[in-house]
Amino acid sequence: MGKPTGFLEYERVSNTWMEPSKRMESFEEFQIPLDEKQRRQQASRCMNCGVPYCQSAIELKGMVTGCPLHNLIPEWNDAIYRGYDKIAFDRLLKVNPFPEFTGRVCPALCEKACLNGLDGQSVSIHDNEKYIIEIAYQKGWMKAQIPTVRTDRKIAIIGSGPAGLSTAYLLNQRGHSVTVYEKEDQPGGLLMYGIPNMKLNKTFVERRIVLLKQEGIKFVCNTEVGKDITRKDLEKEYDAIILCVGSKTPRDLNCKNRNCEGVYFAVDFLTKNTKHLLNDKEAYINTKNKNVVVVGGGDTGNDCVGTCMRHGAKSVIQLEMMPKAPDERLESNPWPEWPKVCKTDYGQQEVIAKFGHDPRIYSTTVKECIAKDGHLKQIKTVQVGFVDGKLTEVKGSEQILDCDVLLIAAGFVGVEKTIKEDFQLECTARNVFKADEKFQTKADKIFVAGDCHRGQSLVVWAIAEGKKAAEMTDKFLMGYSSIQS
């Protein structure tokens, strides 16, 4: 169980983040890993609980707590503590096909359920996970695993985000011939175009795609299913089709003069920025010396804030419609439930460091875009609150803010039009594809996984869904499955 007294002897130490002023100089990742001795001490803090909530993914009050992949956390913490990194790697990869992604961007549902967190500081599970996979790449343990036996079954996967990649990885390992269709010019979904480079450097996405290609997965990029190739074409050619197309229709802003120049959706803005980083000939929206307002106080909004800070924006404000969450857990939200608390993420920290104030303004939304010659110059905001369960404007609370660029990060409203119209599948109230417990739609041989099934969620959930869809598709094709999701 690691070191029986580890959690008593050592405080939690997380990977250090570079100072905001330093990290804002570039779009590079800014975490500085611990040295080996410190890492092993951190792993020794794991108590190997009889019931490890960290890997449980149990549902409490409608929300899951613990790792959705059921990562074998106490096992690999113990192996790290003892210096058995190869064993830690083998155990990690047994359930998590993409720890290089979760070890960077997962909000660590595991840590919120860690028993050490009940009366102290949880184990640094997320950072330990990243340590294992990066050591594995450094030592050459992470190699392409080329399947030795092939079946004659052909599978099409639409979309190459974490759900598509995880489904493709497992079905290819099983021996099926897998082709992944992607409308963008590069595979990776939101891992590539969405999540910014400073959170997940794109070389790490590309590094893994190289291995997946060597393993035999075929990627067909720049191909939009529903437009360049249709459901009918795919049905003729493949034994099964798995839709992993995400839930990327952005929620729009319903305000006066919305269509003036200078208003953009967050993912378009972030995508262009990444494309420009990868190829400086690509055009992007530069917010240098601009007054920026981001609508939406969530993670996507924070990624926009961090990106604008790196551009050198003149000012950055983030509007959030909901009131501020408490700083500490409320009694009604005890461990091991997911803590509903206010977190100040990297982008917001950077605004505080540079401008001396938190960028967030709560209980506020945009009422009007004010433009000159068609270009956005200011916005009119208004405070909002719930009256009888209905979101209502507070009379007389309007304010004018200078704003050259308005970024809409107000969430997502389901699957995109092209694929929906081509496939004509039943959708849920959240405008995502409806499927049974086998991840199968009512249409013969069509499965779904990831955000296009559960709605906008997290990378770890997309990977978990991809694994389940792979197992179910395999069963459908072979009558049984050796894939363990």
DSSP for 179-230? EEE-SSSSS-GGGTTTS-TTTS-HHHHHHHHHHHHHTT-EEE-S--BTTTB-
Shortest reach from residue 226's CB to ligand FAD, in Å: 5
From residue 370 to residue 399, the character string flagging contacts with ligand FAD as x (rule: CB under 6 A) and all else as - is ------------------------------
How many residues contact ligand SF4, by CB under 6 A?
14
Backbone angles phi, psi at 63, to 5 degrees: -125, 145
Burial 306-328 (b: 16+ CB within 10 A, else e): bbbbbbebebbbbbbbeeeeeee
Only one of the segments 16-24, 147-155, 192-200, 400-408 lies at the binding site for ligand FAD (rule: CB under 6 A); that segment is: 192-200
In the window 100-119, what residues touch ligand SF4 (CB under 6 A)?
102, 106, 108-110
Cα separation, 343 vs 349, in Å, equals 10
Q: Tokens for 25? A: 């100089």
Instruction: Please report whether residue 248 would count as binding ligand FAD according to CB under 6 A.
Output: yes
Instruction: Please report whether residue 117 would count as binding ligand FAD according to CB under 6 A.
Output: no
From residue 453 to residue 482, the character string flagging contacts with ligand SF4 as x (rule: CB under 6 A) and all else as - is -------x----------------------
Candidates 40, 91, 126, 468; binder of ligand SF4 (CB under 6 A) is 126
Nearer to ligand SF4, 409 or 460 (CB): 460
Instruction: Please report whether residue 226 would count as binding ligand FAD according to CB under 6 A.
Output: yes
Candidates 114, 125, 245, 435; binder of ligand FAD (CB under 6 A) is 245
Instruction: Please report whether residue 93 would count as binding ligand SF4 according to CB under 6 A.
Output: no
Q: Tokens for 110? A: 């595991």
Dihedral of the CA atoms 168, 276, 202, 42 (nearest 10)? Answer: -140
Instruction: Please report whether residue 125 would count as binding ligand SF4 according to CB under 6 A.
Output: yes
Q: Tokens for 362? A: 């709560």
Instruction: Please report whether residue 425 would count as binding ligand SF4 according to CB under 6 A.
Output: no
Instruction: Please report whether residue 416 would count as binding ligand FAD according to CB under 6 A.
Output: yes
Nearer to ligand FAD, 73 or 419 (CB): 419
Nearer to ligand FAD, 228 or 398 (CB): 228
Q: How far is CA 111 from CA 6, 37, 129, 405, 436, in A?
A: 17, 21, 12, 37, 31
Shortest reach from residue 171's CB to ligand FAD, in Å: 15
Instruction: Please report whether residue 195 would count as binding ligand FAD according to CB under 6 A.
Output: yes
Strands 399-402 and 177-181: unpaired
401 binds, among ligand SF4, ligand FAD, none (CB under 5 to 8 A by kind): none
Are the beta carbons of 219 and 187 closer than 8 angstroms? Answer: yes
In the window 82-111, what residues touch ligand FAD (CB under 6 A)?
105-106
Instruction: Please report whether residue 299 would count as binding ligand FAD according to CB under 6 A.
Output: yes
Dihedral of the CA atoms 71, 122, 457, 366 (nearest 10)? Answer: -170
In the window 426-455, what residues touch ligand FAD (CB under 6 A)?
450-451
DSSP for 14-79? PPEEPPHHHHTTSSS--EEPPPHHHHHHHHTT----SS-GGGT-EEETTEEES-TT---HHHHHHH
Residue found under tokens 């959240």: 430
97 binds, among ligand FAD, ligand SF4, none (CB under 5 to 8 A by kind): none
110 binds, among ligand FAD, ligand SF4, none (CB under 5 to 8 A by kind): ligand SF4
Nearer to ligand FAD, 212 or 382 (CB): 212
Nearer to ligand FAD, 2 or 246 (CB): 246
Instruction: Please report whether residue 129 would count as binding ligand SF4 according to CB under 6 A.
Output: yes
Q: Report helix, strand or coil for 308.
A: helix
The DSSP secondary-structure symbol of 394 reads: P
Candidates 418, 430, 431, 438; binder of ligand FAD (CB under 6 A) is 418
Strand residues in 223-335 grouped as ranges (E): 240-243, 263-265, 291-295, 315-319
Cα separation, 73 vs 95, in Å, equals 10
Shortest reach from residue 129's CB to ligand SF4, in Å: 5
Cα separation, 285 vs 270, in Å, equals 9
The DSSP secondary-structure symbol of 479 reads: S
Instruction: Please report whether residue 199 would count as binding ligand FAD according to CB under 6 A.
Output: yes
Q: Report helix, strand or coil for 332.
A: coil
Of the candidates 51, 61, 70, the one whose C-alpha atom is nearest the C-alpha of residue 118 is: 51
Shortest reach from residue 139's CB to ligand FAD, in Å: 27
How many residues contact ligand FAD, by CB under 6 A?
41
Q: Tokens for 10? A: 């050592």
Shortest reach from residue 431's CB to ligand SF4, in Å: 27
Candidates 24, 34, 69, 156; binder of ligand SF4 (CB under 6 A) is 69
What does the binding site for ligand SF4 look like in residue numbers (CB under 6 A)? 67, 69, 71, 73, 96, 102, 106, 108-110, 125-126, 129, 460
What does the binding site for ligand FAD look like in residue numbers (CB under 6 A)? 105-106, 158-164, 181-184, 189-190, 194-195, 199, 224-226, 244-246, 248, 267, 270, 299-300, 303, 416, 418-419, 450-451, 456-460, 462
